[in-house]
Structure 1
Amino acid sequence: MNVIVVYKSRYGSTRGIAEFIAEKLREHDVQAEARSVDTDPDPGEYDAAVIGSAVYMEHWMKEAAEIVRRNRTVLAERPVWLFSSGPLRLEPGTSPDDPELEPKEIAEFREVIHPRDHRVFFGALDPGRLGLQHRLIRKLPAGRALLPEGDFRDWDEIEAWTGGIARALGAP
């Protein structure tokens, strides 16, 4: 089984998740590689795909959504899993499984490519890597609460999800 893990990341958090997923799949004896959408990978060259994007303002990044739309016929014929990396942390009483956190594009993708699953993972924020717009937001009184510094990714959760993918693909 040959799997591509495609991602679009703005500041590196989503790239880190994609690379971790590919690494964990390889530990399950699944051939896997992580590739940025910027390299214009061809999902048709692989048996399965995992596709993820950073999420901003309730949407996947444009380039990630476009690679799904552009390859919808090929993706609909293969096992596909989707992940989103976005919230840094949640209000008490909410979880990443909350339907409110699902990016707007996911409903469309469910209809078009029929992914096996979609998962929302917490992200990470390093203020030193932010672009001008996000640095300015962090200077606002509510900005630091909106964009808290830290790594909130739950690697155990990501590894467990990836193990489910490996099992679905028939890996030991």
Structure 2
Amino acid sequence: MKVMVAYASKYGATQGIAQRLGKVLDECGYEVDVVKCADIDRASGYDAYLVGSATYEFNWRKDARRFVERNEAELSAHPLWLFSSGPLGTEQVDKDGKDVLEGARPKQFAEYSDTLHPRGMQVFRGAYDPDKIRGADRIIAWMPAIRDILPKGDFREWSAIDAWGKSIADDLQSADARP
């Protein structure tokens, strides 16, 4: 069974998550291609898809949104999972007591849920290294109000990413996952 893991990443954290998911699926016996959304026009020839993006201001990156729009028919006809990365830090709940990962769901999860019917949607924590920031983001990142509130570090929870990848592999093995 062939699986595509397509991603849009700005500074590499989401790319790392996509690569890790691809590795987990590969180790479970699937033929996996991990590709940038911007590098592929048409997604065809795969039995299942995972699509993910970094999230900024509750939106997926443009490359991921365009990829989904171009390939809506193909994606909706096969088993599909969506993932996102973004929240920084280790807090489980925000100041209002709400789940941080649930609160970081991109708008696209709700939009794509109705049209693509994904089997699962997951938000993962991201990473932030101010030394990697470039372009206009660098100006914003060094503003004292923003610089002081953004926790620095790699907050990706590899065990959660591995577990989600294994649950996808298990789902693909079930008879009803076959296209």
User: Secondary structure in 2 aligned to 1:142?
Assistant: helix
User: 3-state SS of the aligned residue for 2:144?
Assistant: coil
What is aligned with 1:11?
A: 11
Matched, 1:163 2:166: yes
Runs of 5+ unmatched residues, structure 2: 175-179
2-structure distance, mates of 1:22, 1:131 = 28
Partner of 1:139: 142
Going from structure 1 to structure 2, the CA distance change for 1:148 and 1:135 (only over 3 Å counts) comes to farther
Deviation at 1:97, TM superposition (A): 4.2
Deviations 1:122-152 (A, max 9, x none): 0011222112322222322221244321000
| CA displacement at 1:96 relative to structure 2 | 4.4
Q: How does 1:78-97 map to 2 (within 5 A)?
A: 78-89=78-89, 90=91, 91=94, 93-97=97-101
Distance 2:78 2:139 in 1: 42
Indicate the larger mover: 84-93 or 100-109.
84-93
Residue of structure 1 equivalent to 2:106 = 103
1:117-156 matches, cutoff 5 A: 117-156=120-159
In the alignment, what sits opposite 1:52? 52
* Superposed CA offset, 1:30-68 (max 9, x none): 111210012115322100000000001110001101111
Determine the structure 2 residue equivalent to 1:38: 38
Q: Shift in Å at residue 2 of structure 1?
A: 0.5
Aligned partners of 2:46, 2:82: CA distance in 1, in Å?
16
Query: Which stretch of structure 1 is more off in the superposition, 63-72 or 133-142?
Result: 133-142
Q: May I ask how many residue pairs the two structures share in their alignment?
A: 170
Which runs of structure 2 are paired with 1:59-74 in the superposition (5 Å)?
59-74=59-74
Counterpart AA for 1:105: Q
TM-score scaled to structure 2, two decimals?
A: 0.88
Question: What CA RMSD, in Å, does the superposition of the two structures yield over aligned residues?
Answer: 1.6
Unaligned runs of 5+ in 1: none
Distance 1:168 1:158 in 2: 15
Q: Establish whether residue 2 from structure 1 lines up as the match of residue 2 from structure 2.
A: yes
* Shift of residue 107, structure 1, vs aligned partner: 1.1
151-160 or 131-140: bigger deviation = 131-140
Residue 12 (structure 1) shift: 0.5
Q: Aligned partners of 1:37, 1:84: CA distance in 2, in Å?
A: 13
Q: What per-residue deviation string (whole Å, max 9, x for no partner) do you get for residues 102-121 of structure 1?
A: 11111110111100011000
Give the Cα separation in 2 of the matches to 1:58 and 1:134.
17
Contact in 1 for aligned 2:11/2:132 (Cα 8 Å): yes
Note the 1:20-31 alignment, pairs <5 A: 20-31=20-31
Question: Identity across aligned pairs (percent)?
Answer: 40
Distance, in Å, in 2 between the alignment partners of 1:146 and 1:20 is: 28
Cα deviation code 1:5-42 (max 9, x no counterpart): 00000001000000000001111111112100121153
* More deviation, 152-161/84-93: 84-93
